[in-house]
């Protein structure tokens, strides 16, 4: 068990201070971390393959916050906030132009009513 623990990065002095259960838990944790790392590598490779296929088929590549929402949720929120602010600015601009046209038309009507 000592060679396996050393292979996983545990030094000899710490190994001898640990109980058997602690050593087993340490080894299980390292093995679990390595398994997750291999799964992430596979996931990344499949994403790359999918994105390359999309590019060759003329399909758009999805944004990163759609692919990995748990890691990049803040980016989606920022994009949504920017879109909301842009929409508010566009509505405000429209309202200002509309009100300006309306005020100009009312001035013309007032002038027309005075001249008749």
Domain ranges of the chain: 1-61, 70-116
Give tens-digit pLDDT for 29-51.
999 999 999 988 988 888 888 88
Q: Is the pLDDT of residue 115 over 70?
A: no
Residue 94 has pLDDT above 70, yes or no: yes
Query: Quick check: 41 and 61 in contact, CB under 8 A?
Result: no
- Give me the pLDDT at residue 21, please: 93
Give pTM, 2 decimals: 0.46
Output phi, psi for 19, to 5 deg. -85, 170
């Amino acid at each position: 068990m000592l060679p396996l623990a050393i292979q996983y990065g545990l030094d000899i002095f710490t190994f001898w201070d640990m109980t058997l259960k602690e050593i087993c838990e340490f080894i299980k944790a390292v093995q679990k971390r390595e398994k997750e790392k291999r799964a992430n590598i596979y996931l990344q490779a499949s994403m790359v393959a999918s994105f390359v296929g999309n590019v060759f088929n003329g399909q758009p590549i999805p944004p990163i916050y759609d692919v990995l929402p748990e890691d990049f949720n803040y980016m989606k929120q920022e994009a949504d906030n920017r879109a909301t602010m842009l929409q508010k600015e566009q509505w405000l601009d429209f309202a200002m132009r509309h009100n300006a046209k309306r005020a100009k038309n009312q001035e013309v009507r007032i002038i027309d009513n005075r001249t008749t």
